[in-house]
Structures are given as structure tokens and as C-alpha cells.
Structure 1
Amino acid sequence: MYTIYSIAYLLVLLFLLPFEYFKRPVNLRNIWIKEKLGIYSSELIRNFRRCIWIHAVSVGEVMAAQPLLRKISEQYPSKKILLSTITDTGRKVALENAGENINVVYMPFDLSFLINRVLRKINPELLIIIETELWPNFIKSFKKHNTPVVLLNGRISEKSFNGYKKIKFFIKRILRDIDLFGMQNEVYSSRIMELGAEKDRVIITGNFKFDVLKPDKIPDWAGSIKGRVIVAGSTHDGEEIMITDIFLMLKKEFHDLNLIIAPRHPERFNSVAEMLLEKKLDFLRRSQINKTQLPLSNIILLDTIGELAKVYGIADIVIIGKSFKAHGGQNPLEPALWGKAIICGPYMENFPVIQEFLKKEAALEVPESKLYETLRELLNNPEKAKTIGLKARELSKQNSGSVMKALEIVKQFIDPDNADFAQK
């Protein structure tokens, strides 16, 4: 099965390679192709032998990994960490947050001969996969080199689970090469076991994002906004129009109201801007605001990467994107850290943690048809919004500690004499 997969992967790669290469900025193209081919600098190879290799596919996983990276660096300052990612945005955020002992690279193409060449030179001590990136040859190559593999902050969305079940016979073989699974909750734990993970290798550790530190401060430009603010975070296609229309209705009653829209995918920044222009709306792109300039529009398009977590701090109400158009939802934990009133749509199946928020009245779930009414109610009753936000922040505090559990798992493999975490 691995042979069939590798042949299919190679054929698709050969077809897509020119598009993938030329779609990148000129200054990234050579770096991308070299590292995707497993050609890392001689300095990296020399300094990162026996490193801890951590793989985080994109921005969300990179940010989720930050608390663990900090803990490993604090307890083992001499350990080198190689952080691999796949997307350009993931790489950018990883570089912005990298400490002195961390090097950021693109993960090689999932072809055994490329990965094996890298592993022969670097010989990592441990591979940590953040969330669920099941690259068959990548994982198998590490096991071939006798490098332990652990999956931490593990999650399997309902959509991914249904897809994996169709090829369970192959997924089961991949999971056999993973030594330990640290899953976020019972739902994900059950799914990974149903796909073939052995029960005695699966541990529930919680969600790293409960341990993500609240940003130090709100960006200067956001802090200068006058009036109340709705932040629509990580929105998807169709949601921006809906939210903008509702905002315009609310604006007739609440004259001090502002809206910040943050599309989930950077490649949609321009299309969302075009939509706002077509509606003849007065708006500003965040990229047009400099440090000394005050936002002069009531609508701001957040067309930057890695800033949303800080911008939540200025919000009075947060709308969770990707939850109104059957896309699976987005992470509610970042606004919860700020103690903000959270509203989501009915499609949050990729983030089952929302059920705990709803049960504790730390968030509101409403259909699209009730969003205007709910926003209007919270704007008219700021004490209710404040209470929801405080409950969200308290829930975040109660669920923290997952990173320390994950660190104990890491210790089992790199420092077993000092590991306190008992596997059950």
C-alpha cells in the first residue's frame, strides 16, 4: 500500500510542482524547493543533530505548539528544536516566534528517499506531530531510523474521521508507527482508537490552546478605535457578506459600533476587499494603517497574519467564523482568554470544546437567522455580554494544564529518569 501511495503522490507532485513553485513570492521560491527536497544548510545539519523535530502544518498548529516549545526550551535549554511546517504563513509565524534554539524549515515532500536522506544526517531524538498530520512516508521513515514518534494535542475532525474510515486499513498501518497519542478529549480519543490506535498508547491530555498565553497587549491601532467593536474572526466565504449586512442594520441603532473582519485564509483578503468595494462601503485594510495613523473607518479588514489573537482584546463581542455556513467552526479559545462574549453558528463540529462553553453559558450558539437579534440584545445589555465573557475566561483557566501533561510525555522519551507522567 505504501508503494501505491508513493507512486500516486509522486505523480500528483510532478503535476502540481510548477504551480506550487511559482505561486510563492520570488524570495521564497529557492528556499521552498530546496527544503522540500530535503536540502538543508550545512550549518543546520551540523548544529541540529539529535534535535527534537516538531511538525506543525500551518499557522494554527504553529501557534498551538508555542506553549510546548517554550516549556521544552525552559527545561532543556541545550536541546535544539527543528520546527517543520508546510504553508508559507505557518513558516512566517513560526519564524516570528522562534527562540534561539529553534530552526524553522519546510517539511520535505512525503517521499521516503528524501526524508531518509535528511534523517541520516540529522538523526533526531524524537518526532512530535502537532494535532493530526498523518504523512505515511514521513512517519514510517522516522520509525525506520528508530526515532520515537508521538502525536500531541491530537484532534480528528468529523470530516477527517469520515474520510479516514474509508481507508482505515491503510490508516491503521500508519498509526502502528506512532508510539503515543496525546489527544485533546474523549471524542478525539475514541476516534483515533476506532481507526486503529492501540488503547494503551492513547492518553487524554487536553487542548494546548487552553494554555496559550494571552497576548501582552492590544495593537496600538486597535486600541485607538473609539466606540464598541464586533470582531468576526476567521471568517469563510459567504460569512463576510452576511455579517456586514447585519452590521449595517445594527449601525443605524448603535452609532458608535465598529466591525473588524478577519478572513481565515490570506488568499481571500483581496476578494473580501472587492466585496466591500462592490457594496460601496467605507472600510480600511489593516495593512494600510501605520503605527501613528488612527483608523478612520468603522469597518476594518484585518489583512495581516498572526494579529487576530491580539485584536480580540479590543472586542466587545466576537463572532466565530466558519460556523454559519457548514464549514466546521473555528477555535473559540483565543477570545475566551480575553474574557469576550462569544457567538458562534450551529456548525462547530470540528471544535467539540464548544459544547462545554455552551453548557457553562460561556458562549452563545445561534443560527444565521438569529444573529442580528442576538447581537442587538448583547449591545443593549452589555452586562450580559460581560458575564458571558467572564464565564469563558474562567472556563479557559479551569482547563489549563495540558502542556505540562504533554511535557511529561516528551520526557518519557528524552529524559525518562525525570518523567513523572504515568501512562494509563
Structure 2
Amino acid sequence: MFLIYSILYTAALLILFMPEYLKRPSDLRKKWLCDKFGFFDLLRITHHSSPIWIHAVSVGEVNAAMPFLRKLKAAYPDIPLILSTITDTGQAVARQKAPEGTHLVYLPFDLRIILKKCFDKIRPRLLIVMETELWPNIFRIAAERTVPVIILNGRISERSSRRYQKASFFMKKVFDHVTLFCMQSPSDADRIKSIGAEESKVIVLGNFKFDMDISQHIPFWAREVQGQVIVAGSTHAGEEQIIIDAYRENVYLFPGLKLIIAPRHPERFGEAEEVIRKSDIRYIKRSQLGPEGEDPGSKKFNILLLDTVGELTAVYGIATIAIMGKSIEGVGGQNPLEPAFWGKPIICGQHMENFPFIKDFYAAGAAFQVTSTGLAKKIKELLMQPEKAKSAGEKARALYLKNSGAVDRAMQIVDGFVKTPFA
């Protein structure tokens, strides 16, 4: 089965390699190419250092991993850390937030010939995979070299579970190479067991996202934005137009109302700007304010396009209302805990499948689920009833604090593996 997987993976790689290479900015292509084939620049990590290797696929996983990484570095300052990602945005956020000395790489291709060289060169003492990135050959090579593999902050949606169940025979073999599954919720634990994970290897620790290390420093330019502000975070294709239409319905009722749109993927900044431009509403781009962000009050605008990486979490701090992207037109939603940290009322679309805990927020009145046609009405309701909006935000903050602590529980688990003598 592993041979068949490798053949299929190689076939897909032959088709996708060049588009993946060319879509990267020119200044990242060399590093991406070297890392993907296992030619890491690891001069600081000697053969005897036995680092801990952490993998986090993209921005959300990197952000969720940061409190854990900081605790890990503080507890074991002499053990090098390698943090791998798949996306460029994940790399960018990691460069900004990872503990000093963390070595950042792109995850190598999941091929034995590459991975054997990587593992033999860096000799990791532990491989930690954030959430549920399943890479059969990586897990297998780790097991062959007696490197424990831990899934941390694991989650698996019903949709993914159904898909994996079609290949449960193979998935069981993959899961045999995983040492421990630390899942976010009992439902996640049940689903991972249903597709082949041994019950004795599965535990529930909670969700790292409730422990995110969120900077309370709001950028200067954001602090200077006047009036009520709607922040639409991590939007996907098709959502900008829906949100702008809802904004247009309300801006005449609430003079001075501002809208900040933050597309999820940098490659969509241009596409999102075109949608805004066609709306014929005054707008500016965050990048026009300079690196430090000059006072945007000097520029007349209704909409601000947040065309930067890494600022959204802090910008939620000025929101009157937060709207979750990928929940209106996309599937899965985006992280509602960032605005919850700031105590903001949250509006979601119908698709928050990747965040099942959002049901607790709906039940508590801390977040509101709407259809695309009901978005404008819900915005109006919250702006007309500031006490209701404030109460919803307070409830969101309370739920955020109530569910924290997963990172400390994970550290207790990982301590046992790190303190075990490494061969």
C-alpha cells in the first residue's frame, strides 16, 4: 500500500511541481526548492543536537503552535527546534513569531528517498505534527528510526473522516506509525479511532487555539481609525462582494461606518481589490500607509483592504463587529477565537465545519450564524443595539478563557518523551 501511495504521490508531483514552484515569489523559490528536496541549511544544527521537529501546515496552525513552541523553548533551551510549514504565508508568520533560533523550513516532499536523507542528517528526537496533517512516508521513516510521532491539537472533520474511511485499511497502517494522538475534542477522538487509530493511542487535550499567544499591541494605523468598524477576516473568493453589499446597506444608516477586508490568501489581494474598486466605494490599501502605518485619518476612505500578512489578529482589537471568512461562500470557516480574545461579537456564515466548538458560541449568544442574505440585517441589529453587541463580545471572551489550558496539558505529555534518553 505504501508503494502504491508513493507512485500516486509521485505522479501528482510531476504534474503539480512546476506550478507550485512558479507561484512562489522569486525570492522564495530557491529556499522552497532546496527544502522540498531535503537540502536544508542546517549549519546551526549539528549531528549530535537531536532537534525537536514541529510541523504546522499554514498560518492557523502556526499561530496555534506558538504558545506551545515558546513553552517548549523555555523548558528546553538547549534543544534546537525545527518548524516546517507548507505555505509561504505560514513561513512568513513563523518568521515573525517563532522563538529565536527556531530553524524554519518547508516540509520536504513525502518521498522515501528524500525523507531518509533528511532524518539521517538531522536525527530528530521527536516529530510533532499540528492538527491532523497525515504524511504516510514521513510517519513510516520516523518509526523506522524510532522517532516518536505525536499528533498535537488533532482534529478531523466529519467530511474528512468519511473520506479516510474509504481507505481505512491503508490509514490503519499509517496510524500504526503514530505514537500518540492528542485530539481537540471527544468527537475528534471518536472520528480518528473510526478510521484506524488504536484506542490506547488516543487522548483528548483540548484546543490550542484557546491558548493562542495574541499580541495586545494594536498597530498605530488601526488605533487611529475612527468610528464603528466591521472587520471581515480571512475572506475567500466570492465573499468580498457579499460583505460589501451588506456594508453598503448599512453605511447610510450609520455614517462613519468603516469596513476592513482581510483576504485569507495574499495571492488574492489583487482580486479582492478589483471587487472593492468596482463597488465604487472609497477605499485604501493597508500597504499604502507605509511599513509602520501612518495615520489613515489623513486619507478619506470607507473600506480598507488589509493587504498585509500577520496584522489581522491585532486588527480585530478595533472591531465593532467581526465577520468570519470562508464561512459564507467557502467551506470550513476561519478561526473565531481571534475576535473572541478581544471580546468582539462574531458573525458567521453557514459553513464553520472546521470549528465545531462554534456551536457553544451560538448557544451562549456569543456568535451569530446567518445566511448571505441575512448578513446585512444582522449587522444592522448589532449596530442598532450596542448593548447586545457588547454582551455577545463579553460572552465570547468568557468562553475563550474558560476553554484554555490545552497547551499546558500538551507540555506534560511532551515532557515525558523529551526526557526519555534519545538513542
Alignment TM class, shorter chain as reference: over 0.9
Distance in 2 of aligned mates of 1:289 and 1:190: 48
Q: How does 1:398-417 map to 2 (within 5 A)?
A: 398-415=402-419
Shift of 1:198: 0.9
Instruction: Give the match for residue 340 of structure 2.
Output: 336
Shift of 1:18: 2.1
Distance in 2 of aligned mates of 1:182 and 1:229: 38
SS in 1 for 2:38: coil
Instruction: Give the match for residue 303 of structure 2.
Output: 299
Instruction: Give the match for residue 422 of structure 1.
Output: none
Instruction: Give the match for residue 197 of structure 2.
Output: 197
Instruction: Give the match for residue 391 of structure 1.
Output: 395
Distance in 1 of aligned mates of 2:214 and 2:24: 32
Instruction: Give the match for residue 329 of structure 2.
Output: 325
Distance in 2 of aligned mates of 1:4 and 1:145: 22
Q: Which moved more, 1:144-153 or 1:285-294?
A: 285-294
**Per the alignment, do residues 40 and 80 of structure 1 end up closer, same or farther by CA in structure 2, a change over 3 Å counting?**
same
Distance in 2 of aligned mates of 1:36 and 1:325: 32
Letter in 1 for 2:166: K
Instruction: Give the match for residue 239 of structure 1.
Output: 239
Distance in 2 of aligned mates of 1:282 and 1:267: 22
Shift of 1:365: 1.4
Q: Contact 1:231–1:260 (CA<8 Å) still a contact in 2?
A: yes
Distance in 1 of aligned mates of 2:369 and 2:148: 41
Q: Which runs of 4+ in 1 moved over 4 A?
A: none
Q: Which moved more, 1:161-170 or 1:62-71?
A: 161-170
Distance in 2 of aligned mates of 1:47 and 1:285: 47
Letter in 1 for 2:380: R
**Aligned: 1:260 with 2:260:** yes
List alignment gaps of at least 5 residues for structure 1.
418-424
Q: TM-score, normalised by structure 2?
A: 0.96
SS in 2 for 1:243: helix
Shift of 1:46: 1.8
Distance in 1 of aligned mates of 2:67 and 2:42: 29
Render the CA deviation track for 1:45-95: whole Å, top value 9, x for unaligned. 427731000001111111110010011111111111100111111111111
Q: How does 1:115-194 map to 2 (within 5 A)?
A: 115-194=115-194
Distance in 2 of aligned mates of 1:47 and 1:288: 46
Residue identity (%): 49
**Aligned: 1:79 with 2:83:** no
Q: Which moved more, 1:78-87 or 1:274-283?
A: 274-283
Letter in 2 for 1:74: A
Q: Which moved more, 1:39-48 or 1:284-293?
A: 39-48
Render the CA deviation track for 1:211-268: whole Å, top value 9, x for unaligned. 0123121111111011000011111222110110110110111002000011112211
Instruction: Give the match for residue 287 of structure 2.
Output: 287
List alignment gaps of at least 5 residues for structure 2.
none
Instruction: Give the match for residue 372 of structure 1.
Output: 376
Render the CA deviation track for 1:118-144: whole Å, top value 9, x for unaligned. 111111110000001101111111111
SS in 2 for 1:253: coil
Shift of 1:180: 0.5
Q: TM-score, normalised by structure 1?
A: 0.95
Distance in 1 of aligned mates of 2:49 and 2:117: 13
Instruction: Give the match for residue 208 of structure 1.
Output: 208
Instruction: Give the match for residue 39 of structure 2.
Output: 39
Distance in 1 of aligned mates of 2:32 and 2:375: 43
Q: Contact 1:321–1:329 (CA<8 Å) still a contact in 2?
A: yes
Letter in 2 for 1:339: G
Render the CA deviation track for 1:168-187: whole Å, top value 9, x for unaligned. 22111111111111101111
